Amino acid sequence: MKQATLHQLKVFEAVARHNSFTRAAEELFLTQPTVSMQVKQLTRAVGVPLFDQVGKRLYLTQAGEELVKTCRAIFENLDQFEMTIADLQGLKQGRLRVSVITTAKYFIPRLLGPFCRRYPGIDVSLQVTNHEYILGRLNDNADDLYVMSQLPDLDITYEAILDNPLVVIAPADHPLVNETNIPMERLAEEPFIMREPGSGTRKAVQELFDARDIELKVQLDLGSNEAIKQAIAGGLGISVLSRHTLALEGICNQLTILDVEEFPIERYWYAVYPNGKQLSVVARTFLDYLLTEGKDFAQKTALRRTLPQTQSNGTPLPSAANSGDQEHPVDHPPAS
């Protein structure tokens, strides 16, 4: 291993991540023969094969898997070192990698604006994906911080950021609009639009209805909150989504929140990272920002911009829709 260079490790990690020599070459602005040569030299230095090639597909060997983990730990340590040096020089600079669940896209990008203006030396990479994918990234230690609603059964450190209630959303002219405390069983008569398998929203909805032994008439699975809102407005059914998904202008005046028993399902967004992970200077700066100014900003902006306070026909929304957080503040559960 003594002859291996940092450059070879970078090339190898890119090949492993893309599972392709060609794509790694594209990412690194190298030619494909150069990439192959670097991996060949590294393999020679390690002394055992790093990839198996079956047909056109590449598979990491066990040694390859171990080396990928080692490479990522080395790169992370080097990044941290660079950030620490920058911090010693009075600068906050480096790369911040954050993965957030789909609903957090309604506030995290808005928070990033002021943060990036304050720290122009920080480059941010933001992944927006569902609960299951975030778990995968958390397991792979792919990011500095994660924002999610359902705390995983893993060894993690977490801090509550903001409440993220799930509500029942229907078209604004739905016959149940003026009903209060609608029985959950009544929803089983409506065509239901569900988030895709792997979604945290779907899991929370299923758990609630399973606990009451109620089977929903799921007519459509959709992998995006925005697509579900369009489908509801188009009359394809009702659904349960985070109330924050109503934060954007546009289609929301065609939607309403139904007042259903057991709703909203109370949940929170949490900032999460693996226990024992040494946060970089940049990640710590962002976490502090998220938990102080960011939290205030999100509270003010995200919920102020939910559904208008009247329906399209001018009558007030049912009480569930009006019970904004300003009226019924919810205490965050204690963070770890």
Given the rule CB under 6 A, which residues bind ligand PGA? 101-103, 130-131, 149, 164, 195, 199-201, 242
Nearer to ligand PGA, 99 or 201 (CB): 201
CB-based burial label for 67 (10 Å; 0-12, 13-18, 19+): buried
- In the complex, minimum distance from the CB of residue 100 to ligand PGA, in angstroms, rounded to a whole number: 9
Question: Toward ligand PGA, which CB reaches closer, 43 or 245?
Answer: 245
Strands (DSSP E) contained in the chain are 51-54, 57-60, 94-101, 122-129, 145-148, 156-163, 166-171, 191-195, 217-222, 238-242, 255-258, 268-274
Instruction: Give 172 or 241: the residue with its C-beta nearer to ligand PGA.
Output: 241
Cβ-based nearer residue to ligand PGA, 43 or 242: 242
Q: How far is the CB of 101 from ligand PGA (least distance, A)?
A: 4
- Give the 3-state secondary structure of residue 140: coil
How many angstroms separate the first and last alpha carbons of the chain?
41
**Smallest gap from residue 97 Cβ to ligand PGA (A):** 19
Q: How far is the CB of 299 from ligand PGA (least distance, A)?
A: 16
Name the residue nearer to ligand PGA (CB basis): 87 or 226: 226
Identify the burial level of 311 via C-beta atoms within 10 angstroms of its C-beta, where 0-12 means exposed, 13-18 middle and 19 or more buried. Answer: buried
Minimal distance, residue 269 CB to ligand PGA, in Å: 7
